Structure 1
């Protein structure tokens, strides 16, 4: 985990949380938990454009609430082969008022950091959508194929595929809670059922 990300975790959660994130080394059990909770997000949250913040907040909350893992939702820039696709205008932004409950039109990207692993639960949905940026769709389809749901891989491996994740901010607990409230409203509207169930 690079120094910039550790500084961002420190800014949002303090030095103790940054140390825990830096020392976290996921093994097979943890990666299985990561995958199963990511699949839960995909099965639960309806397809909608611009949902990276809400879906990443759901994934983070699922891993924190059930397993207490030192996982973080990270906002920043997603580039394809060195060209920014999402978030090119996020440099130097004040993120303290971003990510309100149902805010889906944010122009950057949000993913999770799980030890050395980057987890992205929304990029495939975005790439397969009708209005996807052409460069993103071409990269995803040519690299991973159709019908994929999520990925989790160490940052150097993502870079080898041409996916560069440049962190600018780590979402706070308050922001994640706000996004979870937004998720609950969207899920209830889509399904007619209360979420999360009692």
Structure 2
């Protein structure tokens, strides 16, 4: 599937769970340098609280989306689907954030660095990006060139994102 077809398909999923207005804003958004700095800063804030905690990829990225939504006026969407490396599925239950047509994935590196990570994912991420990373952020159309695939299955509604953040908060509090 070409990047433009994938983007059109994702826009339809966004329209179904949010609105056509949100889908149009999503497709039109282009982050500036200030937006990218905010994305990185907000990722660091989330990692300070959630790194090493027992949270799922969708929970981690939902928390990031909510925190990011307080700082940006960009269309921020939480997506669930399949993460793949070189066309091979690594995680069917992966979650990530779309900031317009940009993938922001706070769970990629924690999933790849985990002791039980699929070997192909761990090897690919270490070779491509190195150790100690926290946020993957790239234009969706360029992710395939990096050997990564993000195949959306569904776009989460606001109530689902809120529920995931609540689950993440409960998981963090149970450890503290």
Q: Same fold (TM over 0.5)?
A: yes
> How many residue pairs align between the two structures?
171
Q: 2:91 is matched with which residue?
A: 86
Q: What is the alpha-carbon distance in structure 2 between the residues aligned to residue 127 and residue 50 of structure 1?
A: 14
Q: Name 1:67's counterpart in structure 2.
A: 72
What CA distance in whole angstroms lies between the structure 2 residues aligned with 1:85 and 1:50?
18
Q: CA deviation at 1:50?
A: 5.9
User: Any idea what SS the aligned residue of 1:26 has?
Assistant: coil
Q: In the TM superposition, what whole-angstrom CA distance separates every residue of 1:140-167 from its partner, at most 9, and x where no partner exists?
A: 1111111111110112322111001111
Query: What is the DSSP-based 3-state SS (H/G/I as helix, E as strand, rest coil) of the residue aligned with 1:165?
Result: strand
Note if contact 2:102-2:139 (Cα within 8 Å) is conserved in structure 1. yes
Structure 2: 5+ residue stretches without partners: none
The alignment's C-alpha RMSD in Å is: 1.4
Distance 1:158 1:22 in 2: 17
Shift of 1:49: 5.6
**Residue equivalent to 1:140:** 125
The normalised TM-score by structure 1 is 0.82
Instruction: Say which of 31, 42, 49 aligns to 1:44.
Output: 49
Report the Cα distance in structure 2 between the residues aligned to 1:80 and 1:48, rounded to whole angstroms.
25
Cα distance in 2 between the residues matched to 1:70 and 1:139: 30
Which stretches of structure 1, 4 residues or longer, exceed 3 Å deviation after superposition?
Answer: none
2:81 counterpart SS class: strand
Q: TM-score, normalised to structure 2's length?
A: 0.91
The answer to whether the 8 A contact 2:85-2:124 is kept is yes
1:19 paired to 2:24 = yes
CA distance in 1, matches of 2:150, 2:81: 7
Residue of structure 1 aligned with 2:35, choices 30, 37, 41: 30
Q: In the aligned structure 2, how far is the partner of 1:142 from the partner of 1:67? A: 32
3-state SS in 2 of match to 1:66: coil
Unaligned runs of 5+ in 1: 88-107, 192-198
More helix by share: 2
